[in-house]
Amino acid sequence: MIRSRFGTFRGLLRLALSYPQLLLGQSASRAPDPAQVRRLVFVCQGNICRSAFADVAGRQAGLNTASVGLSTTTGRAAHDAAIVAARALGHDLSDHKAIDLKDYVPQAGDLLLAMEVRQLHRLAADPRLADLPRLLLGCWTRPMLPHLHDPYGLDDRYMATCLARIDRAIGALVSAFPGARLS
pLDDT, tens only, 5-27: 999 999 999 999 999 999 999 99
Range of the domain at 72: 2-180
Using one digit for the tens of pLDDT, what is the confidence trace for 101-130?
A: 999 999 999 999 999 999 999 999 999 999
pLDDT for 40-69, tens place per residue? Answer: 999 999 999 999 999 999 999 999 999 999
Q: Which of 85, 89, 101, 88 is nearest to 42 (CA)?
A: 101
User: How many domains is the chain partitioned into structurally?
Assistant: 1
Spatial distance between the Cα atoms of 24 and 118, rounded to a whole number of angstroms: 15
CATH number at residue 131: 3.40.50.2300
Single pTM value for the model: 0.97
Residue 20 preceded by cis peptide, ω within 30 = no
Which positions are catalytic?
A: 44, 50, 150
Strand runs (DSSP E) across 23-178, as ranges?
Answer: 39-44, 65-69, 110-114, 134-136
